[in-house]
Chain A
Amino acid sequence: MSELENSPAAETGGDATAVELELLPPSKLLSWFLNPYVQIGVGSVLTCVAELLLKKGAVSAPQIPWLPEWFGASAMTSGWTWIGIVAYIGSFLSWLRVLRLVPLNIAYSLVNVAQLLVPVGAAVLLDEHISHWRWAGIALVLAGVCSLINVAAEMERGS
């Protein structure tokens, strides 16, 4: 019986998931996921998703007449807004984790990858247009992000 437990792959004829789980145990996967630089990526994607949902909520909800136009509380009547809020809370928690471990100036600039995701996401999902000039700007942002990642990696090694 114990011999069977020790070799589940042999018994099932090479169970791929069992092998994969052995290579990446959940604890390792979790510590990789909790790495602040991975969290910066996770947070950026969540922010982008939240942003698009908020936009959808903000334009789909009717303006409450007695509220000033610049105050967005009318959007709270839309379900999209609330899903957006959940995504924001997720990105906020991830951001707090990042702030614990990474200097603010580096972390904040890196989170600007979301700057690229939002216009690109808006173009794809909401049919907003992206010009050549805008693509050039996106390339500059990417170059800046690369340079900062380089600095951050050096600081990590130094500390």
Chain B
Amino acid sequence: MTTSAIALCILVQVFIIVGELFLKRAMSPNGDPGESAPIAWGWLSLGVACFTMWFFLWLGILSKWDISQVYPFDALNSAGIALAARLVLNERLPVRGWIGIALISVGIVMVSQS
């Protein structure tokens, strides 16, 4: 893969991370789980906008590279999302949880490197 392809894959991941933060805000505005909380439609539309951008960039990537070659870039995502959720949404995890996320990320990198 070329440098520009990798940069494009990373950009796509940024859209996903930001989009997921928006969606989570939209679906549980106060940070606590529950079906009763109202949906924050403003955050939801921002999230959908991020995923729309992601979608077209992703289609572009898929048309040029092997699916199993580019998909594993989501490894960045698991770690990125977990960090962002910790920093932005203040979600806490026990150490075992972080180990689980690390295993998933390393596993996906291995899948992408072979």
Q: Which residues of A does B touch, CB under 8 Å?
A: 51-52, 54-55, 57-59, 61, 63, 68-76, 81, 88, 92, 95-96, 99-106, 108-109, 112, 115, 118-119, 122-123, 126, 128, 130-134, 136-148, 150-151, 154, 159
Considering the chains assembled together, what is the distance between the CA atoms of A69 and B4 in angstroms?
12
Considering the chains assembled together, what is the distance between the CA atoms of A130 and B62 in angstroms?
18
Residue in chain B with minimal CB distance to A132: B114
B85 to chain A, nearest CB (A): 4
Residue in chain A with minimal CB distance to B8: A70
Residues of A within 8 A of B114 (CB): 131-134, 137
Q: How many A-B residue pairs have C-beta atoms within 8 angstroms? Tell me.
A: 192
B15 to chain A, nearest CB (A): 13
Interface SS of A by simple majority? helix
Q: Which residues of B does A touch, CB under 8 Å?
A: 8, 20-21, 23-24, 26-28, 33-35, 37, 51, 55-64, 66-68, 71-72, 74-75, 77-78, 81-82, 85-86, 89, 91, 93-94, 96-97, 99-114
B46 to chain A, nearest CB (A): 14
Residue in chain B with minimal CB distance to A34: B35
Among the listed B23, B24, B111, which residue makes an inter-chain contact with A134, where contact means beta carbons less than 8 Å apart? B111
Residues of B within 8 A of A141 (CB): 103-104, 107-108, 111
Residues of A within 8 A of B77 (CB): 108
Considering the chains assembled together, what is the distance between the CA atoms of A34 and B57 in angstroms?
31
- Other A-B pairs beyond A100-B27, A134-B111, A137-B114, 17, CB < 8 Å: A52-B67, A58-B63, A96-B23, A103-B85, A104-B91, A105-B85, A115-B111, A118-B71, A122-B67, A128-B68, A138-B107, A141-B107, A142-B107, A144-B101, A145-B104, A147-B100, A151-B97
Residues of A within 8 A of B107 (CB): 115, 137-144
Q: Check A140/B110 contact, CB under 8 A, given A72-B58, A108-B77, A151-B97.
A: yes
Are the C-beta atoms of A55 and B67 separated by less than 8 Å? yes
Residues of A within 8 A of B8 (CB): 70
Considering the chains assembled together, what is the distance between the CA atoms of A141 and B24 in angstroms?
24
Counting from the closest, the 5 A-B pairs by CB-CB distance are: A72-B59, A137-B110, A144-B103, A140-B107, A147-B100
